[in-house]
């Protein structure tokens, strides 16, 4: 099937940041077939008028705990909430069904905000992957490996078995690219970390882990004469398979080591600034040539799964921390949200609009109140636009959002189904009422 998108302001996000005003783009067999300005193709099956909107590659969410929708707005101002109630409540009340339904709702939220690919870390990820496939969002799911009792995995050995099952089941899938997901540098024992790395090498996939995020984490390794990154390196994890998440407290030595070893980074400006944890040294990361992208983190940590929030918060936090208004111009930030995220996940056929790339894309309308006038389209995306302005989303050449609405299901139905599954979880949460 040939689909023509016309009357668009195309931001290709290629090496030259090529733009095409009043342009067209042809989609065929799930990929970008051609694009241009003149000689509009006539032999097509469907034509979509973009109304002069901004057409760009789909956003990549390089770190998420998508299923955690039921936790949203719990204890947002609570210090150390991970250990005070998130871990305990997960152990008491989380279910496989909640993982599945939470992921469906989260996928809908992300698609409506223009996210076409997500890297996810949580529990029952086989079911999460199923939900993502059903919703039509590309995914990199990883079963959380943690050295404590957790949903569906009383031991790291069980979580590792689930990881292998995930890797085997989805091997070769176009839509699901399973990864390894040890939880953190202080929450997974060295033996389990080493086994995760071995699996990543065997299956030639990513290994993602929270690192250099917590103050107590940094203090623990400081007392051992190490950093979390040098610790991971001592176990063989700091290499091309590593996607380290947060990385707020990286040292210059850490950055040099990661650049040397070919590691990647995901920064989560929304959740990190909300928690008061700090601002990652991304100016230095970028200067070192380390691939990096944005993550929303989970709906409990960053609350929204909205890449527009991440772009804006990244801009203001980095510029403020470095006292430099010129740092990270808007078009660089849009690149991080699209092509940067794709590079961090090792995707060579996504994150830009050129023939042969995946037809994972979105259109941002310029009709909204905050979208007039537009002199610089990148500035409009970073500082003016929101999920409300996303009019169309495609993944694999299939329209998932049209006129700002999901095409395959209703958001209200997804919400209703998830709500029906939540009463037991909510009853278990009542014991933490004083802090949530």
Task: Identify the pLDDT of residue 208.
Answer: 98
Long-range CB contact pairs, 187-195, < 8 A, 24+: 187/146, 187/147, 187/148, 188/145, 188/146, 188/147, 188/156, 189/147, 189/156, 190/235, 191/156, 192/145, 192/147, 192/156, 192/159, 192/160, 193/232, 193/235, 193/237, 194/235, 194/236, 195/160
- Which two structure tokens, joined as six digits, stand for 213? 């995020």
Q: What's the rounded Cα separation, in Å, for the pair 222 and 234?
A: 15
Nearest Cα to Cα of residue 66 among 154, 146, 135: 135
Nearest Cα to Cα of residue 389 among 409, 364, 412: 364
Q: What's the rounded Cα separation, in Å, for the pair 401 and 379?
A: 24
Q: Which residues pair with 138 in a beta bridge?
A: 117
Alpha-carbon distances, residue 281 vs 122, 185, 247 (angstroms): 26, 19, 8
Q: Which domains does the chain have, with CATH numbers?
A: 2-57+354-371+380-404 (2.30.40.10), 59-344 (3.20.20.140)
Q: What's the rounded Cα separation, in Å, for the pair 67 and 2?
A: 34
Nearest Cα to Cα of residue 72 among 81, 61, 59: 81
Q: What's the rounded Cα separation, in Å, for the pair 184 and 193?
A: 9
Nearest Cα to Cα of residue 267 among 287, 290, 247, 289: 247
Indicate the pairing of strand 2-11 with strand 19-28: antiparallel
Task: Encode pLDDT of 35-67 as tens digits.
Answer: 999 999 999 999 999 999 999 999 999 999 999
- Which two structure tokens, joined as six digits, stand for 90? 């997960």
Task: Identify the pLDDT of residue 128.
Answer: 98
Q: What's the rounded Cα separation, in Å, for the pair 367 and 282?
A: 33
Q: What's the rounded Cα separation, in Å, for the pair 265 and 289?
A: 11
Q: How far does Cα 232 stand from its chain's mean position? A: 22
Count of alpha carbons within 13 Å of 434, Cβ hemisphere only? 2
Name the residue with tokens 């979580």: 159
DSSP code string of 164-225: HHHHHHTTT-SSB---BEE-BTTTS-HHHHHHHHHHHHHHT--EEEEES--HHHHHHHHHTT
Residues 224-252 as b or e (16 or more Cβ within 10 Å = b):
eeebbbbbbbeeebbbebbbbbbbbbbee
Q: What's the rounded Cα separation, in Å, for the pair 36 and 22?
A: 9
Nearest Cα to Cα of residue 68 among 27, 105, 28: 105
Distance separating the N- and C-terminal Cα atoms of the chain: 50
Does residue 369 sit in helix, strand or coil? Answer: helix
Task: Identify the pLDDT of residue 436.
Answer: 82
Spans in the chain with pLDDT lower than 70: none
Rg (alpha carbons) of the chain, rounded to whole number: 21
Nearest Cα to Cα of residue 404 among 386, 418, 421: 386
Count of alpha carbons within 13 Å of 140, Cβ hemisphere only? 25
What pTM, to 2 d.p., does this model score? 0.97
Task: Identify the pLDDT of residue 435.
Answer: 83
């Amino acid at each position: 099937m040939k689909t023509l998108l016309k009357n668009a302001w195309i931001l290709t996000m290629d090496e030259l940041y090529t733009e095409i005003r009043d342009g067209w783009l042809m989609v065929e067999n799930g990929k970008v077939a051609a694009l241009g300005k003149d000689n509009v193709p006539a032999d097509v099956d469907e034509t979509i008028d973009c109304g002069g909107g901004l057409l760009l590659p789909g956003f990549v969410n390089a770190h998420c705990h998508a299923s955690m929708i039921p936790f949203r707005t719990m204890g947002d101002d609570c210090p150390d909430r991970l250990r005070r109630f998130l871990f305990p409540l997960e152990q008491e009340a989380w279910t496989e069904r909640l993982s599945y339904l939470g992921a469906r709702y989260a996928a809908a939220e992300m698609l409506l905000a223009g996210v076409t690919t997500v890297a996810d870390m949580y529990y029952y990820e086989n079911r999460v992957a199923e939900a993502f496939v059903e919703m039509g969002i590309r995914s990199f799911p990883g079963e959380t490996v943690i050295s404590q009792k957790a949903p569906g995995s009383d031991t790291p050995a069980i979580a590792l078995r689930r990881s292998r099952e995930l890797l085997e089941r989805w091997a070769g899938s176009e839509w699901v690219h399973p990864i390894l997901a040890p939880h953190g540098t202080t929450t997974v024992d060295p033996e389990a970390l080493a086994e995760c790395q071995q699996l990543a090498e065997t299956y030639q996939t990513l290994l993602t882990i929270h690192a250099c995020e917590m103050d107590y984490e940094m203090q623990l390794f400081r007392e051992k004469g190490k950093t979390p990154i040098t610790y991971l390196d001592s176990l063989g994890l700091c290499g091309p398979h590593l996607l380290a998440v947060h990385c707020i407290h990286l040292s210059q030595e850490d950055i040099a080591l990661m650049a040397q070893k070919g590691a990647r980074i995901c920064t989560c400006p929304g959740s990190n600034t909300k928690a008061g944890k700090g601002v990652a040294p991304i100016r230095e990361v970028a200067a070192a040539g380390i691939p990096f992208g944005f993550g929303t983190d989970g709906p409990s940590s960053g609350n929204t799964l909205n890449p527009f929030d991440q772009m804006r918060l990244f801009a203001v936090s980095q510029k403020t921390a470095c006292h430099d208004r010129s740092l990270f111009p808007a078009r660089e930030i849009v690149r991080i949200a699209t092509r940067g995220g794709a590079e961090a996940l090792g995707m060579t056929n996504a994150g830009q609009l050129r023939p042969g790339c995946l037809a994972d894309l979105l259109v941002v309308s310029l009709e909204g109140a905050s979208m007039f006038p537009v002199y610089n389209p990148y500035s409009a995306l970073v500082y003016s636009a929101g999920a409300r302005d996303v009019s169309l989303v495609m993944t694999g050449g299939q329209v998932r959002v049209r006129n700002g609405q999901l095409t395959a299901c209703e958001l209200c139905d997804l919400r209703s189904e998830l709500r029906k599954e939540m009463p037991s979880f909510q009853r278990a949460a009542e014991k933490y009422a004083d802090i949530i």
